[in-house]
Amino acid sequence: MIVLNSRENTISLETYGANQFETAARAYLELETKHFEDTQINVVLVNTGDLRKLELSYPNYFMDTKTLVQCLSRIVMDRFF
């Protein structure tokens, strides 16, 4: 589970084993409920066996804006030039 706190510019990770799906789902629901109205906190429950793949899939949760900037630059260039 990834918790992105934009207000404090932090992320936290909580890991669960493959056989802990119910525990992870309960923890996710608890955090989603707790932060439901807080637009500065995003909670995501993902499934991966490789942290690097997770970082590639969700770069914004790991504060990697390089990919975002590259994509936005391509969009702007294609649209206006």
Instruction: Tell which wins on pLDDT, 11 or 81.
Output: 11
Q: Estimate to the nearest angstrom the gap between the alpha carbon of 53 and the chain centroid.
A: 12
Q: What is the pTM of this model?
A: 0.64
Residues 29-55 have pLDDT tens digits of: 999 999 999 999 999 898 877 767 777
Residue 72: which pLDDT band, with cuts at 50, 70 and 90? low
| CA separation for the pair 38, 27 (Å, rounded) | 17
| CA separation for the pair 18, 29 (Å, rounded) | 18
| CA separation for the pair 69, 13 (Å, rounded) | 24
Closest CA to 28 of 39, 16, 19: 16
- What residue spans define the domains of the chain? 2-80
Q: pLDDT value at position 64?
A: 63
